Structures are given as C-alpha cells and as structure tokens.
Structure 1
Amino acid sequence: MGSKWRKARMALGLNLCVYLPKTLEDSSPSSVDSEERLSDAALLSPANLGSSRPQTPTPSSHGLKLSRSGSKSTSKQTCSICLTKMKQGGGHAIFTAECSHSFHFHCIASNVKHGNQICPVCRAKWKEIPLQGPTADPSPGRAPIDPVGWPQNDALMTVVRRLPPRRDLSRRHIVPLFPATEPGIFNDDEPLDHQTMLAERSSSNKNCADDNCFRTIEIKTYPEVSAVSNSKSFDNFTVLVNLKAAASTTTQNPCRDQSSLSQFSQNCRAPVDLVTVLDISGSMAGTKLALLKRAMGFVIQNLGSNDRLSVVAFSSTARRLFPLRRMTDTGRQQALQAVNSLVANGGTNIAEGLRKGGKILEDRRGKNPVASIILLSDGQDTYTVSGSGANQAQPNYQLLLPLPIHSGDNTGFQIPVHAFGFGADHDASSMHSISEISGGTFSFIETEAVIQDAFAQCIGGLLSVVVQELQVEVECINTNVCLSSLKAGNYPSRVMVGGRKGSIDVGDLYAEEERDFLVSVNVPAEFSSNLTSLIKVRCIFKDPLAKEMATLESEEVGIQRPAVAGQVVVSIEVDRQRNRLQAAEAMAQARAAAERGDLAGAASTLEDCRRVLSETVSAKSNDRLCVALDAELKEMQERMASRHVYEASGRAYILSGLSSHSWQRATARGDSTDGSSLVQSYQTPSMVEMLTRSQAMLLGSPSAQRLIRPLYSQPKPR
C-alpha cells in the first residue's frame, strides 16, 4: 500500500496523472496484468459483446458518484460509451450519473467538455456533470464531483486542488497505439504468409474437388420472344444475358462440421486487403462512436488470418492507426485496441481520409487478390468541396478521390470505395459520387442500429469473391444482325464500330452473385431459313485463388422464324429486367426534379412509373422483383412529402437505391433494424450468413439495444 501512495504522490508532484495505475505489486504478472492489458480488445469481440450485461448501479444519496479507482469492489459494469468493462481497480475513475448510467470518467469527460449535459444512453438532461478542474462550492446537500473520485475532504484532494487544471483530461487516459509520426511511404504492411496461403490453396483445390466445386460462371440467355414471323424485322430486339458466379463450397456443403466451417471458408476464398476510413469528428461523439466501435469489432472478428486490415480515422485531419496487418489472433487484439482508443472531436475532412486510405493500398509491398475501402461519415466535407444546393453549381466530387482510387474515365477504376452515409446530416450526393466513381456502393444508414448490419452485409460480399476482372463480350453471328445497344447500368460498356461486337467490364463477382444485361440487336426479315442466329456470349475472367485467366462461351442465341407465328409469349425474365431499368430511370428523373425543388413533379414521376409497371407481364404474375420495385418507389414518394423530409432522408434513400440497381449489388438503407431495409433482391448467401451472425450478436446484447435510437425524431410521412 505504501508503494501505491508513493507512486501517487510522485505522479501528482510531476503533474502527470490523477489516478492510481495498476502495478505489478498489486497482482500477479501472469494473470491480472495480461488481463488488464488486453481487456479493451477482448471485450470488443462478438462473444463478449453479446454476453456483456451492464448492471445498473444504485444511485448515491448525492445523485452523482465517482467510484474510487483503488476500490476492491468486484463490480463489472460496462461503460456505455466505449462498451468496455468498468472493472474497479483497473486504474480508471468511474462516473455514475444521476440517471444511474455509468461511464469511464475519461469517456464521459470527452463527451461533455463541449457543454453537452445530456446522457448519451437515455437522453436525460443532467443537472451536474463531471468536472475537469477544481469545483465550485457545492450546493447544500450535494457533494462536489472530482475528477478522481475521492471526496474533497480527503487529504489527497488538498494536493490535487493545488495542481493547475489540465485542458484535456480525456486524452491522458488514451495510450496511442501508433507512432508519433507516420512514414512518408506506407510500405510497412505486414508480409503475406505465402507458404500458408499455398498450403491452404492446395487444400482448397482438394476440398473443391471433393465437393464437385468448380469456380466458373453460369451463362444463360433469354430472347424476349422465342419465335417471330420471318416477314418481320426488328430495330431493337432484346436478349437478356444472365450471369451467375459459382457458389462457395461452404454453401454447397451446409452439413460440414460447424467448428471447421470458418477455417474452411477462409481456405476457399480470396484473401482481402481492407482499409476502413472512419469519421471521428465531433458529431460522432457518444452513442454513434460507441456503435461504430462495436461494428468495427464485428468486422475484425470475422476477418481471416490471411486477410489484412488497416484503419484510418479522420476528423479535421486523418491518421492511420496501424499499417495493413494480418488478422491473426495478435493482429485482431491490436486492431481492437486501436479502434477502442478512438475519441470523437474536430471537423470532417473526407478527402484527407480517402487520400490516406488510398495511399495505404497504393504503397503496400504485398497485395492480396481483393482490395477495398470502406468509408463511413455522418457529416459533410468542409475542407475540399463546398456544399451543394438548388442554386449552386454542382461541386466537383472527384476532388475527394485520390488517383490510386480511380484512374480516369477511360481506364476504369482501381479500388472500390463502399461508402456509408450516416444520419440526416451527411452529404449523400458526395458519398454517392465517391462510390460511383470508384466502382463501389453507397449505403444510407438512417438509424444507428443498422451500422453493424450494414458493415456485415458489405464484408459478407467482400469475403466471398470468386471471380475477378470479368469482361463480357457479345458477338453477332448472323451477318445481317448488328448490336444497337448494351444496357449495363454503371458498368462500362461499348459497341464496336459496325455493331458486330460489344463488351461490358464487370469486375468482381461474389459467390452466387448474378448480373443481368439487356442486349438490343437489329433483326432483319428472314425468308430463307426457319431460324435466325443472333448472338454468342463469351466471359473472360480471373480465378483470384489460382490467379489464372479463364474463358467461357455460351451457346448461340437464336429465334424461330416460321412463316406464320402463333401467339407471342413474352419472356418473364426479360420483362422483369426491363422493369428494373425503367424503375432506376424513374428514380434518377425524380431525384433531378427534387434537386430543382420540384418535389411534386418528382413524386408524380415515381407514381407514373408505378402505374406503368403494374401493367407489365411480370407484375401481373406477381413477380418478386416487380413487387419489391413497387414498394421501393412508394417509399421514395413518401420521402418527398416535404423539403425537410427529402433533405433528411429522401435524397440519401434514392441515391442508395440508384447505387444498388446500377451495380446490381445489395446496399443498406432505410430506418429498419431488422434487415428489411436491405435490398434483398441482390443479397447473396454469403451476405445473408454474415447478416445472421450480426443480428444474432445484437439480439443477445442488452447493452447494444439500449444504445439504439433514431438519428432524428422527424416522423416518416404516411
């Protein structure tokens, strides 16, 4: 005990700290010390997050209480800000508010230092807040609150009161997990374990052979009608090209032992280099940052040992918390500790965060087959581009993206950025533009509870890439047939001079992911034959594990040409995709009208599209996609009820929908917490599996449920 007081007096004399740290004299180095050192990281794991149940403390007679750091109490509450256990005796003061919620003192001090007197959990307004310096005279019947938790009549506090107040108490408790200066070149990524990867690739090939798994693409084609009279000609005859990537072996063999499922899945997929660029500006303080840390904990725990992760945090400036690091057990612990150390403060410099994230992937020495950036922000970039409005010129959002992320309009994109706009105040236009230019998706997170599910869906796809660098080539067979157009959404496409050939650059495909493209051709009258051959489809792609290029061709597509055609039967498959493209076009037109201030015209455009779709063949057959499109268009109409509603959620909701349909990839959007806000039409089994894990973890965590609340209280119009 004497040693502890001696250390405290020395620390106070040097004005270094005002809490008693845990020392080796107090516990055995083999057990307690290691537990304390790794507690922050371990508690962010899904297993512990799901089981941690904070206990509501008993309010003191004075309404507020700071627990002694040196107490021997066995209380194991959970801080509602950083979501780690508040183990008394662990060297951190504990603050209990008058609403009975408890926090680490350094966590809540950071939250209230800007004058915020509202509980981040229950939103109750506090009459007293934790102080960062000497307190004023207490009011009758109330004890003053001190930064270290001892009563002011304690002899030690006479020493504390003589110390000058520190400007930022919260930062004294944050131990940096990254060097004071960053290198000029980010070539310090952790080396890839080539021997392990080769062994696992060999094991993967054997497993795939055992399960009759072949990494390939299935090509299907559907002409809009199967037969037409030989006397008729068509300027725009439509053929649907449907591509579907192979299923992963884990999907094909669901009976595999659960204990080996995770490692097996890791073996049979391409490893990932992932950089998360996270907004930690002042507006992220409190519950937002807590749930972001929890979501990042889920991501870290679900990355494999061959996957590498780097985290960039940005506010007014950007900081790389650690280099690309393999997510082994040690890597996970260090990543979780780094994420747990984040504190919200400052402005929003998205461009600097993306610049640093792109540089990490550009400078790396080794490269995993799959690379991607996840960007999350709840604000607007105030450093690079000016805000947009109805009477302002469109900002150049390309300024937010460094060259490593996009390499120009003619050469496509290099690193996809999957952007997540968070809350009512983020700049949906800029986030959507960032994702569109880079080849990623834009998700709208309207409710805090959806953060983890949105991340889970995204990495569920990234961790299942089975096809890369996919290029689709379309060639006309009949010399009298030529291509008129390729409808491919955001995917770069081109029709060669003469219309004999065309191509579409698709890029990566997740396991069991599908792509649908409408090919329009000119069909001449055909009197000399009973069959007109139209096109042939060829897919050229790379297997990311074998790192070998492969080519796959479809059968020839043709239509019957009888002298007299019978009843014309329209292909449901073709009609369904026409409806999707028509709905996406209506969304784009409605958005343009809304940006001009014509909300009534925007809603009318969406209503007209719904009416047209309702008369189609697929709608009358209750096609699932058509039903989903109608519900989506109706939701967008409701979010255009007023300028306020459109600014708060309508714009982001429409842009997320456009992103999803243009790339034919699932995005998260809306305010639902049960997953129904996700565009299920494009979800893959890998995404669904990861979502199930996320939701199971959240359902088992009462502390997470208490943190969930809407980002704004404006009711959605009905």
Structure 2
Amino acid sequence: MGNKWRKAKLALGLNLCVYVPRTLDDSATPSSERLSDAALLSPKNWDSRPMTPTPSSHGLRFARSGSKSSKQTCSICLTKMKQGDGHAIFTAECSHSFHFHCISSNVKHGNQLCPVCRAKWKEIPFLAPTLDPLPGRASVGWPQTDALMTMVHRLPPLPRRDLNRRHLLSLLQAPEPSVFDDDESLDLQPASSERSSGNKNVAGHNPAKTVEIKTYPEVSAASCSNSYDNFTVLVHIKAASTVARLNPRGNQAILPQPSQTPRAPVDLVTVLDISGSMAGTKLALLKRAMGFVIQNLGSNDRLSVIAFSSTARRLFPLRRMSDTGRQHALQAVNSLVANGGTNIAEGLRKGAKVMEDRREKNPVASIILLSDGQDTYTVSGNGGNQSQPNYQLLLPLSIHGGDNAGFQIPVHAFGFGADHDASSMHSISEISGGTFSFIETEAVIQDAFAQCIGGLLSVVVQELQVGVECMHPSVHLGSLKAGSYPSRVMADARSGFIDVGDLYADEERDFLVSVNVPAESSRNQTSLLKVRCAYRDPLTNEMATLESEEIKLERPEISGEAIVSIEVDRQRNRFQAAEAMSLARTTAERGDLAGAASILENCRMLLSETVSAKFHDRLCIALDAELKEMQERMASRHVYEASGRAYILSGLSSHSWQRATARGDSTDGSSLVQSYQTPSMTEMLARSQATLLGSPSTQRLVQPSWSFGSQPKPR
C-alpha cells in the first residue's frame, strides 16, 4: 500500500498530507475523498518550478500542517503569499494559509475541507446564503444528489442579505441559458502566435507551401509486353513543419514558447466524467491534467468545461484563456467533486451545444471526452454477450454529421482505467472523426492530454481533399486504401477522392491507390496518375490547390528483377497489420482468444518476411512490437476485458487515422509504439513530463520523435 501512495504522490508532484488527525466531524470520511478535490492547478510559471517531493531516508516526506512552505505558498494558486502585498490571507483552524480570494472561491464552490490536509473546517472564509430554490429551479432537472449540487448543500444557512448571494447563485444554482451564445468574443487584434481566420496578411506565410505531395509506384519499371492488375501507387502527403529547434550540443529539444510560431487559435470543449468512480487520486490527477491544458492554451484560444455524472453541467462558457480566463478556469476545475452516475450522452450533448450555439468561431474546434465508466443512462451495458449497442445514441446528430449540414466536431475520447467502455469510446471517436486513447495508469493522464493538445494547437491544414486522376486512357482505378477516411471512386473508375480534413504541423498521410497497367507497344513510358490536393489554410482562411507531377512507369522491352519500393512495402505492412488487429478483435469478442492471438502471430510472421523487415524498417519493428503486446493482452479473458480490448481499439484508431493516440507506454520517449507522433506533440509531452519531474532539461523527456515516412539518417 505504501508503494502505491508513493507512486501517487510522485505523479501528483506535491507534498500532500495523506494522514490527518481524526475528529468527530470527519471520522467517517472515506480516505478516497481526502484527495478528491486537492488543489493541483498551477500558475503561469509552473513549468519552471520543481514539483518533485524531496526524498528522505524513509521515502517521500509528507507535508506537515505548519510547514514553512505551506505558509509561504498558497496551495490553490501556488503563488507566494506576502503580508502587506495587497492580498488578504486566510489562515484556517488547521493552520494552513491561503489567499483569501482563492480559498473563498474554493468554498464558494462547496468545499469545506482543507485543500492540503483534508481537515474539515468548522469556520469557513466565505459565508454563503441559504440556498432556497428559486422560481423555476425545478425545471432545470439537476438532481439533488449530483456532484456539483452536493458541494453547495454542505454550506450552512446564512442571512439572505449577503452581498455575494447573487454571484454564488448565478454560478451554481441559476438555470443554464437555453442557448449557449454567451461565448467570449474573439480578439480582433490577434497576437503573433494565434492569428484570426480573417487575417490574410500573415507575414512570411505562403499557403502554397503548406502541403507537400510525393508519389511512389510499386516498382519503377515493368515490361512493356505485359499488363498488370492491382498495381499499387503510394500517395504521400505531408503538412508543413513548425519551427523545431534542437540544442546544438546534442539532440535535446528546446521547449519553445507559444509565441514563437504563428498558429490557428482553437475552440476547445472538455467533457469530464466526475461520477463517483472518479473519486480520490483519479480526480486529483484529472485536475492536474486540466491545469496543464489551461496553462498551455494561448490568449486567443477559448475553453469551455462540461462536467457530467448523473447529468451534465457547463462550468463556464467558451472563454478566452487570457490571464483572467485561466484563473477562472483553474478555480472552476479545482472545485469539482466526484459523485453520481455516468451519463456520457448528456455530457456530449451539452458539449456539442456549446459548439453549435457559439456566436463566433475560432478556425479550429474540438471536443475532448474523458470517462472511466460506462454510460448507465443511454446505452444498455448488460454484458458482452448482448447484441451490439447502437453507440450513435451517445452522439448528438450534429457531431456525427448525420444532418448533412457539413458540421462535424471531432471528439478525442480518453478511456480511463480498466472499467471504462472501450467499445463506446472508440465508436464515439470513430463516428466523429476523432481518436481514442487508452489511459491505462492514472499517472499518464496528463501526458495523454499533452500529446492531444500538442496536435490541436498546431493545425496547419483544414478541409483537405486528395484527388487522383488517371492519365492514360486505358488506366482505371481499382481501390483506394485510406483507412477511416471517407473515399470514393467515380463510376467511370477514372478518378477518385479521399476526404482527409485537418492536418497538424508535420503530419503525414499515406494512401495506397490500386490501378491496372495496360501493355504498351509504342511507348517506353506509361502515364498512370496525377494527384491533386485542395485545402483551406486556417491562418488566411483561403482555399489553396496543389498538383503533383504525372506518375510515370518505365516500360522497357525486357525488365530485370523487380525491386519493390520500400515506401510502398512499408505502408502495405501498416494496412496488413491494421486488418489483422481488426480481425483479431472481432475474433476475441466472439470468445476465441486463442484464435485471435493466432491471427496476430500469423501477421507477425508475414511482416518478418517483407522487404521492410529485411532493411530493419522502424515502422515494421514498431508494428511487430505492437502486435506482440496485443497477443500478451489476450492471455486470458480477464486480461482482455481489463486492458486488451482498449489497447487494440486505441491501436486501430491510431493506424486508421494515421494519428498518434496514447496507449500502454506510447507516450514514453523510449517506447517503440510512437506511431505518427509529430514534433509539436513531442514538445508538448516534454513540457508535461518536465512539470511532473520538476526539471525541464531531463534528458529522457525530450527524445525526438521519428517519422515513418522519412527514415533517420545514419550519423
């Protein structure tokens, strides 16, 4: 048990007081609640402040109630407290001190326990009024047992004339507006790091250079006397790079400041599970992860937070993350308490409503969903032997695009722990065009969020559509292998399209195009295809187009032994591995774990015989490691239910969208499973891990990511 507390304390990065003197008032308080609303959120300069507890001969040293550090530093905002500095200081009966405005805000949201030692206070710094129901209150449908309202009901009744009554009621008891059009206005004078979508004069920015197209035929030459069916051409798309700097003394990344690179600002809604199962360390680490997200959003980015348990509540509307906005967001998140059931659908509906009703829109929009349980209100979860539930019930119509209005907000879903519904979370992300990540251990939640926002804060291409057109009159398209991206071949089989959508900086997409190649008697070359990209530049809001050169195949009379392109072979391996993962998952769901493991083993054998494997290709090595990990997670039904299903679905999400997801140790710099991680994601991961370990220069945190599209050059 001691080891678990030690790990939790290290992950939290704080000297939390785990044991507190028991009193008659709190003798029955469960131990899990003592950590449920611990203050974990940090100020603007938190990335430079060491947070690792000081070890002692007896392990990690617990904080004492009257410690010097707790008196000098406010445990809510983590800034220093100075007498006579213009800020009132409140000292509680347990001897811990806080800024009065910080602790009064904390109490205003219903907390009567010390954020440091969890002692229950008899005297509180903010005297709230009697919370009599207002006219029309019953129509809100907010259960009296739900988490956010139980915070309020713990406060004692006080005189009606309290000056803060109106403010408190407006935050926690007043009905939500019927239309969420109260989003904060966008900044009309954007900062250098975040340009508005209407700014067409971004210095030094050329939309034509935002996307790069490369093509690779399966072989460079084929005999002119033969015809070929299912000849493969690889279409490789890469988005423009961001400014990535390396330390000249080594390969250690220098963490850039957000203002260094112009980027498109983001509207982000986080939908957070605060049901009873999130109590304790889970909620504490979620708060810390949200604090990291808040601190790394720019002043033109906007954030809204939805908290759900038995029902859902919007904590605050879309608000710009200025200094004031950050402070408000940190305090709101820090006030959360876990309680109630799990109503994922209601949380998503409210999150989608924030996006639908907003008056103004930033160029990039996304929803982050985190849950550790199964929806107990919308989708029946009576066991794995039941018929497949309709997970579309969990998504508002606008999110999955069923209304044909072209409105689709990607939901990046994070399944937390062993008890979440991986199938529903994966379906939610797949339908909406987002990704599914599996947070297996509590300590990596911040890293998982960091990797996600590292991508969201680096969008350089939107509405990307890739078109392929046959050039030779006898060449026709067979198939387009595009994973989860919508694709279609026209009726005449002479052209086809792939709808890609957004690309993060440095992201790559690879698609396999199958064509027939006719015999050629009069020419020494056959023109196969031309590739065209059309997309919107989020910095200028302008549409841009780009065309590749014609893809030509040499046609000698006699060709030697065909040398298969390693680029094509590499992507064939990826598609083959993804198909094996999908088939293995289907087999495992039928109860045949041995058969599922056999499918994965056969795929590993096939990969080992490919050209890529013989050249020790890094993608091939990574795929083999991932398939092996999946095999091990099918050792028994218990292991598969606890982690195997979620691990496979997260891997499928990653490979089908060609976008990084968190699973297992994938966010660790030494992991082989780092598919599709971009430099922006790596930098944000380094920033996250530096805050957890207390040193931004820690070498293991900043391992440079490698791209499967371009192999590393020998030193």
TM range, smaller chain:
0.7 to 0.9
- Per-residue CA distance 1:1-59 (angstroms, 9 max, x = gap): xxxxxxxxxxxxxxxxx99xxxxxxxxxxxxxxxxxxx9697455617943566899xx
* 8 Å Cα contact 1:95-1:130 kept in structure 2: no
1:35 corresponding residue in structure 2: none
Partner of 1:681, secondary structure, is: coil
1:320 corresponding residue in structure 2: 314
**Structure 1, unaligned runs of 5 or more:** 1-17, 20-38, 58-63, 97-102, 114-119, 122-128, 133-145, 150-165, 703-718
1:358-397 map, 5 Å? 358-387=352-381, 389-397=383-391
CA positional deviation for 1:65: 13
2:244 corresponding residue in structure 1: 251
* 8 Å Cα contact 2:344-2:394 kept in structure 1: yes
2:466 corresponding residue in structure 1: 472
* 8 Å Cα contact 1:276-1:374 kept in structure 2: yes
* Percentage of matched positions with identical amino acids: 70
* 8 Å Cα contact 1:46-1:298 kept in structure 2: no
2:20 corresponding residue in structure 1: none
* 8 Å Cα contact 2:581-2:600 kept in structure 1: yes
- 280 and 83 in structure 1: CA distance in 2 versus 1, 3 angstrom threshold: farther
| Selected match of 1:306 from 300, 315, 322 | 300
2:291 corresponding residue in structure 1: 297
2:603 corresponding residue in structure 1: 609
Equivalent AA in structure 2 for residue 251 of structure 1 = A
* 8 Å Cα contact 1:413-1:437 kept in structure 2: no
- 414 and 519 in structure 1: CA distance in 2 versus 1, 3 angstrom threshold: same
CA positional deviation for 1:199: 11
CA positional deviation for 1:514: 0.3
- 524 and 290 in structure 1: CA distance in 2 versus 1, 3 angstrom threshold: same
1:16-415 map, 5 Å? 43=42, 45=44, 47=46, 50-52=49-51, 75-76=70-71, 90=90, 92=92, 94=94, 171-172=154-155, 178-180=171-173, 181-196=175-190, 201=195, 209=204, 215-248=209-242, 250-251=243-244, 261-265=257-261, 268-387=262-381, 389-408=383-402, 414-415=408-409
* 8 Å Cα contact 1:131-1:147 kept in structure 2: no
Partner of 1:589, secondary structure, is: helix
* 8 Å Cα contact 1:445-1:670 kept in structure 2: yes
* 8 Å Cα contact 1:41-1:334 kept in structure 2: no
Partner of 1:534, secondary structure, is: strand
* 8 Å Cα contact 1:280-1:342 kept in structure 2: yes
Equivalent AA in structure 2 for residue 582 of structure 1 = Q
CA distance in 2: counterparts of 1:383 and 1:629, whole angstroms: 38
* 8 Å Cα contact 2:467-2:533 kept in structure 1: yes
Equivalent AA in structure 2 for residue 172 of structure 1 = L
CA distance in 2: counterparts of 1:86 and 1:254, whole angstroms: 33
CA positional deviation for 1:563: 1.0
2:644 is the alignment partner of 1:650: yes
Equivalent AA in structure 2 for residue 90 of structure 1 = F
CA distance in 2: counterparts of 1:284 and 1:86, whole angstroms: 30
CA distance in 2: counterparts of 1:407 and 1:212, whole angstroms: 31
* 8 Å Cα contact 2:187-2:300 kept in structure 1: yes
Equivalent AA in structure 2 for residue 366 of structure 1 = E
CA positional deviation for 1:405: 1.1
* 8 Å Cα contact 1:373-1:415 kept in structure 2: yes
* 8 Å Cα contact 2:273-2:307 kept in structure 1: yes
* TM-score normalised over the length of structure 1: 0.76
- Per-residue CA distance 1:624-669 (angstroms, 9 max, x = gap): 0000000000000000000000000000000000000000000000
* 8 Å Cα contact 2:41-2:291 kept in structure 1: no
Partner of 1:90, secondary structure, is: strand
CA distance in 1: counterparts of 2:462 and 2:325, whole angstroms: 27
- 94 and 576 in structure 1: CA distance in 2 versus 1, 3 angstrom threshold: farther
2:541 is the alignment partner of 1:560: no
1:600-679 map, 5 Å? 600-670=594-664, 674-676=668-670, 679=673
- Per-residue CA distance 1:213-261 (angstroms, 9 max, x = gap): 964210000000010111111110000000000112x237999x98984
- 244 and 458 in structure 1: CA distance in 2 versus 1, 3 angstrom threshold: same
1:589 corresponding residue in structure 2: 583
- 74 and 679 in structure 1: CA distance in 2 versus 1, 3 angstrom threshold: closer
559-568 or 474-483, which deviates more:
559-568
**Which structure carries more helix by proportion?**
1
| Selected match of 2:429 from 403, 413, 435 | 435
- Bigger-Rg structure (1/2): 1
Partner of 1:172, secondary structure, is: coil
2:564 is the alignment partner of 1:570: yes
**Structure 2, unaligned runs of 5 or more:** 1-24, 27-37, 57-61, 82-87, 97-102, 125-148, 157-166, 697-715
- 412 and 196 in structure 1: CA distance in 2 versus 1, 3 angstrom threshold: closer
- 451 and 75 in structure 1: CA distance in 2 versus 1, 3 angstrom threshold: closer
2:471 is the alignment partner of 1:483: no
CA distance in 2: counterparts of 1:633 and 1:46, whole angstroms: 41
- Per-residue CA distance 1:512-562 (angstroms, 9 max, x = gap): 100000000011111121111100000000001111101100000010111
1:143 corresponding residue in structure 2: none
* 8 Å Cα contact 1:225-1:569 kept in structure 2: yes
Equivalent AA in structure 2 for residue 182 of structure 1 = E
1:454 corresponding residue in structure 2: 448
* 8 Å Cα contact 1:55-1:78 kept in structure 2: no
Equivalent AA in structure 1 for residue 155 of structure 2 = R
CA positional deviation for 1:172: 3.2
2:692 is the alignment partner of 1:698: yes
2:402 is the alignment partner of 1:419: no
Equivalent AA in structure 2 for residue 397 of structure 1 = Y
2:480 is the alignment partner of 1:494: no
CA distance in 2: counterparts of 1:214 and 1:512, whole angstroms: 15
* 8 Å Cα contact 2:47-2:690 kept in structure 1: no
CA distance in 1: counterparts of 2:93 and 2:346, whole angstroms: 35
- 563 and 701 in structure 1: CA distance in 2 versus 1, 3 angstrom threshold: closer
Equivalent AA in structure 2 for residue 292 of structure 1 = L
CA positional deviation for 1:195: 3.0
Equivalent AA in structure 2 for residue 350 of structure 1 = I
